[in-house]
Structure 1
Amino acid sequence: MGKINLARVDDRLIHGQVMTKWTKGLGTNSVYVIDNATAADDFMKDIYISTNSTGGLRIKVYSAAEVGTQWQKDHFGDDKVVLVFKNIKEVLEALAAGLEIQTLNVGGIAKKSNTKFVIPTVALSEEDKNDLQKLHEQGIEIFFQTVPDSKKVAYQTDL
């Protein structure tokens, strides 16, 4: 039976911090990219999947609905997975499609004009805050942390 080692929101998806810091020490053998746009773009999907050979980890790309369906089908087989979501909204979509997570790490969301920083690497919009509140109300533990050796900041409803 597969295992979700980490569910993370990081708008950069796969990059050095994910590949070298978060996957180490957890027995991870796969990274699943969860992004509706990437899953619908065969060229981008192939680019991510092709990193299998260089990183030593299996890379799969799913839409939010597909990852929920796959979890319900076989709990990710024998994969020990780090899930990397492009945004918070797609976490909610994946849960609605059947994915089950207990914790969510929010580690990288770039600053935009309508957002405010909650930690130096995470800037949230009001919509993001509302979506996090919905996840919190579902009993999911949410925390903000860039890399495993940086300070872990617990979610608070008054962000």
Structure 2
Amino acid sequence: MGQINLARVDDRLIHGQVMTKWTKGFGTNSVYVVDNATAADDFMKDIYVSTNSTGGLSIKVYSATEVAEEWKKNQFGDDKVVVVFKYIKEVKEAMDAGLELKELNVGGVSKKANTKFVIPTVAIGDDEKALLKEFHDNGLEIYFQTVPDSKRVEYDSAIK
């Protein structure tokens, strides 16, 4: 049975911090990118999948419902996975479809209109805040952290 080493929201998806810092030390062998738009775009999907040669990690791209279906099949087989979601709303969609998460790292959400920073690298609006509250109230451990060696900020401290 596979294992989710990290579930993270980061709108940059795969970048240096994810590939070099979050995948080390966990025995990670795969990164699953979860973004509905990327999963529907064969060209972009191929770009992500072709990066698997760097660092020896397998890269797979799924929509939110597809990643849940993969989980329900066999809990990701033998993969030890970092699951990177582009959007908090896609975390909800995946969990509603059957993906089981115990904790969620929110580490990179860029500033947009009507959002506020909760840590220097995460800006959320009312919709994201409501989803995170729902997750938290249902027992999902949520924390905000940019990289493993930066300060981990628990949900209650960040959302005031």
Match of 1:64 in 2: 64
Please identify runs of 4+ aligned residues in structure 1 that moved more than 4 A: none
CA separation in 2, counterparts of 1:123 and 1:87? 12
Match of 2:41 in 1: 41
Match of 2:85 in 1: 85
The answer for unaligned runs of 5 or more in structure 2 is none
Question: Is 1:140 equivalent to 2:140 in the alignment?
Answer: yes
Shift of 1:113: 1.6
CA separation in 2, counterparts of 1:104 and 1:147? 14
Shift of 1:129: 0.1
SS at match of 2:142: strand
One-letter amino acid matched to 2:76: F
More moved, 52-61 vs 14-23? 52-61
Shift of 1:158: 4.4
Structure-2-length-normalised TM-score: 0.97
The answer for unaligned runs of 5 or more in structure 1 is none
One-letter amino acid matched to 1:60: K
The percentage of counterpart residues that share the same residue type is 73
Matched residue pairs, number? Answer: 159
SS at match of 1:59: strand
CA separation in 2, counterparts of 1:135 and 1:21? 25
SS at match of 2:114: coil
